[in-house]
Amino acid sequence: MPLRRGDRGEAVRDLQQRLARLGFGTTGSDPATFDPATFDDATVDAVRAFQAVRGLRDDGICGAQTWAAVVEAGYRLGDRLLYLREPTLRGDDVAVLQRRLGGLGFDAGRVDAIFGPRTKSAVDAFQRNAGLTVDGVCGPATLSMLDRLGPGGAGREPVAVVRELELLRRAPRTLQGRRVAVGDAGGLHAAAAAAARALTGAGAQVVVVQHPDQSEHATEANAALADVYVGLRLDVDAQGCTTAHYAGHSYVSPAGRCLAVLVQATLPGALGIADGGVRGMALPVLKETRMPAVVCELGPPSTVVARTAELADALAQALSAWATAPFVDA
C-alpha cells in the first residue's frame, strides 16, 4: 500500500529515516507537534524533493516506484557483492560500477543501476584484462583494482553512449522495416491502435503493448527487439502534453532525448493542448527498455480521446523525422 499524507506507523518512520540519510530530512516539521511516525507535510515535501531529484513523478506519495528508488539510493559501491542473479540487483552502487567500467572502455550498457547481462560481461572483461579471477562478481578484489586505477574513468562518457550513437549511425534513415513498440498504460487503447495503423502505413513493424505495469512494457518491447518505444499515458489532471526520455545517474540517452524533442514539437500543436516540455526521467519503462524510449503524458482526456486521429498522425510524423535524424551530433 502506498504511504501518503496522514499515514502513521513504523513504515513511515522507516521511510523518514531512509530519506534523512539521503539528505532529504523532515526538518520542516513543527517540533511541538512532530511525531516521527506520521506522514506529515514536511514528509510530503521530503518525498517530493527526492522524487524530483530521482526523475520520478513528484506527487509526494511513496508508492512502489518511489520506495524502490529510496532503497536503491541507499547502496554505496562496496556495501555488497554485485553479480548477475534473478531478480536483478539494483541500486546506486550498480550505477557507479557501470559508469566507472564504461568510462574505462568496458561496455556495461546504459547506466541504469540494474546489474544485467551486459554489466556482468563488462565485469568479466575488466577482470580478464586486470589479471583477476573471471567470475563476473564485483567484490573486494575487483573494487580494489578499480580503485588502483583512480577516479579517471568515473568522469568519462560511458562507452554505452558511443555504442548507442554508432548503432544509430548505421541504421537506415527511414521507418521502413523498423520495429516500433507503442505502449498504452490504460485508457488510450484506441489511440495506441490508431498510432499502430499510422506507423504501419509509414512502413514500420509495430507491436502494441497494453498493460498497467511499466516493467511489463519494457519486457515486451525488449522481447520484440524493438528499435524504439513510445509510451502513451493519459493523465486526468493534465492540461497538455509532456514527453519524458531516460535520464538518471548522470546518464542521458541521446537518441531518447532527440525523440522526445521531436514528439514534443509535434503532439501539442496537433492536439491543440499546452506544451508541457521535455523531461529527463528515470521511470521504470525508460530504465528497463534496451532501446531509445519516450513516454508521452497527455491530457485533458476529453481532448485527447476526441483527437485520436491527429495524435496518431503526429506520432508517425515525429517518428519518421527521428528515423531520418535520430540524434544530434555534438
CATH number of the CATH domain containing 101 = 1.10.101.10
Q: Which three cell numbers stand for residue 275?
A: 506544451
Dist. CA 144–CA 138, nearest whole Å: 10
pLDDT single digits (tens) 225-261:
999 999 999 998 889 999 999 999 888 888 999 999 9
52 lies in a domain? yes
Residues 177 and 295 in one domain: yes
Q: Looking at residue 254, what is its pLDDT?
A: 87
Residue 69 belongs to domain spanning: 10-73
Asked if pLDDT for residue 325 goes beyond 90, the answer is no
Determine if residue 271 is left, alpha or beta; phi over 0 gives left, psi from -120 to 50 gives alpha, anything else beta.
Answer: alpha
- CA proximity to 234, closest of 198, 273, 262, 205: 273
Domain boundary among 117, 145, 165: 165
78 lies in a domain? no
Residues 142 and 260 in one domain: no
Kindly report the average pLDDT of the chain as a whole number.
91
Confidence of residue 272 (pLDDT cuts 50, 70, 90): very high
83 lies in a domain? no
Indicate the range of 29-33, 40-44, 172-176, 201-205 predicted with least confidence.
29-33
Q: Which whole number is the average pLDDT over 117-127?
A: 96
Any residues with CB less than 8 A from the CB of 307 and at least 6 apart, and which? 270, 271, 272
Q: Looking at residue 155, what is its pLDDT?
A: 52
Residues 221 and 277 in one domain: yes
63 lies in a domain? yes
Asked if pLDDT for residue 282 goes beyond 70, the answer is yes
**Which has more pLDDT, 299 or 173?**
299
198 lies in a domain? yes
- CA proximity to 256, closest of 284, 216, 287, 277: 287
End-to-end CA distance of the chain: 45
Give Dmax (Cα) for the chain: 66
Asked if pLDDT for residue 159 goes beyond 80, the answer is no
Q: How many structural domains is the chain composed of?
A: 3
pLDDT single digits (tens) 17-76:
999 999 998 765 555 555 678 999 999 999 999 999 999 999 999 999 999 999 999 999
**Residue 267 burial class via C-beta count within 10 angstroms: exposed 0-12, middle 13-18, buried 19 and up:** buried
Confidence of residue 1 (pLDDT cuts 50, 70, 90): confident
Alpha-helical segments (H) within the chain: 10-21, 41-54, 64-73, 92-103, 117-130, 140-148, 159-170, 189-201, 214-223, 254-271, 284-288, 301-306, 308-324
As a dihedral over the C-alpha atoms of residue 218, residue 223, residue 229, residue 231, rounded to 10 degrees, the angle is -50
128 lies in a domain? yes
Q: Which whole number is the average pLDDT over 275-303?
A: 94
Residues 142 and 199 in one domain: no
Residues 55 and 107 in one domain: no
Asked if pLDDT for residue 181 goes beyond 80, the answer is yes
Q: Which three cell numbers stand for residue 116?
A: 544485467
220 lies in a domain? yes
pLDDT single digits (tens) 71-111:
999 999 999 999 999 999 999 999 999 999 988 889 898 89
Q: Looking at residue 330, what is its pLDDT?
A: 37
Q: Which three cell numbers stand for residue 150?
A: 583512480
Asked if pLDDT for residue 285 goes beyond 50, the answer is yes
Residues 202 and 258 in one domain: yes
Q: Looking at residue 328, what is its pLDDT?
A: 63
pTM (predicted TM-score): 0.87
Q: Residue 271 sits in a domain of what CATH number?
A: 3.40.630.40
Beta bridge partners of 207: 181
